[in-house]
Structure 1
Amino acid sequence: MYEMPDKVFPMTTEGKAKLEKELETLKTVKRPQVIERIKVARGFGDLSENSEYESAKDEQSVTETRISQIEEMLHYAQVVDASQVAPDEVSIGRHVTFVEVGETEPESYTIVGAAESDPSEGKISNDSPIAKALIGKKKGDTVSIETPGGSFDVKITEVK
């Protein structure tokens, strides 16, 4: 009997498309380049002391590992449609702005699946302490967020 996997990778439609594009590039561009590097390095002679060959084999391992990771994430992908959630409710795929209680400077993040998080772009994982505390809450709610650095309260000022 088939059992549902414990693994589920929630992601936005955009995040899934980005992973699919990365996978295609790895398979059609990167993998052939690495294979060619290995082929050329083999021509340099003794493989036991051939740093080019070792480097190419290491790159091949990294590439194949990433391909496997992406394939698994896509296989177990659960695309979250934010339009199915109330417009003022925080969910994956939503952009949320909040202000820490007692502060005036707002913070904004887009909540995405772990596979597509990129804090430098303001995209935080649904598994992060901030996102976990905010998901399901609505504009105007005050939320207590527990992080490894301590806890703090925030007021949600905008959800879009």
Structure 2
Amino acid sequence: MAQINYYTEEGLQKLKDELHEMKTVQRPSISNQIAEARDKGDLSENAEYDAAKEAQGILEMKIAKLEEIISNARIIDDSNIDTSKVYILSKVKIKNVANGMAMEYLLVAENEADLKEKKISVESPIGKGLLGKAVGEIADIQTPNGIVKFEIVEISR
């Protein structure tokens, strides 16, 4: 059974764009490389041909995997998600209880996580620790340096 993954519209569109680029740009490019290598003669000792065929196999594998991911993707409708608790697509402002440092993160599906954009996965230790918590609650999150306590300051969409 294929695993269903949840995405924002933006995240799913990125995957579709990547698939389109693989099929319309990379696939024809590799086909041209194979044709050029084939034109050079003896295929049994042609390293360019072998490399191009290997690249084609890898690309086709990536395309198949991405097609499977897209076919099992579901878009998250955040319009009716409760904002009293932390769920996927919640923007959460948290404060480290020990040092008072405040941070704000958007909880997203694993494939959309990007720390530079302050998007963390619901599968990450922090994401898992925050899920289901309400404003004012303390989340005990296991880190490599031990358990860190975060207070939920604000939840928004």
The percentage of aligned residue pairs carrying the same residue is 38
Give the alignment partner of residue 14 of structure 2, picking from 11, 14, 18. Answer: 18
> Where in structure 1 are there 5+ consecutive unaligned residues?
none
TM-score scaled to structure 2, two decimals?
Answer: 0.84
Separation in 2, partners of 1:65, 1:43: 26
What CA distance in whole angstroms lies between the structure 1 residues aligned with 2:61 and 2:104?
33
Alignment of 1:72 onto 2:34: no
TM-score, normalising length: structure 1: 0.82
Report the Cα offset of residue 40 of structure 1: 1.4
Determine the structure 2 residue equivalent to 1:57. Answer: 53
**Cα RMSD after superposing both structures:** 2.1
**Match of residue 117, structure 2, among 116, 121, 127:** 121
Per-residue deviation at 1:37? 1.5
Which residue of structure 1 aligns with residue 129 of structure 2? 133
**Cα deviation code 1:91-122 (max 9, x no counterpart):** 22222221221123223322211222233433
1:71-107 deviations in Å (ceiling 9; x for gaps) = 1111111222222212243222222221221123223
The equivalences for 1:1-160 within 5 A come to 5=1, 7-160=3-156
**Counterpart of 1:57 in 2: which secondary structure?**
helix
- Quote the offset at 1:143 in angstroms: 0.6
The answer for unaligned runs of 5 or more in structure 2 is: none
Between the two proteins, the alignment pairs up a number of residues equal to 156
1:67 is paired with a residue whose SS is: helix
Q: Which amino acid aligns with 1:143?
A: A
Bigger-Rg structure (1/2) = 2
**Residues 19-51 of structure 1: CA deviation (Å, up to 9, x unaligned):** 111111111122111111221122233334433
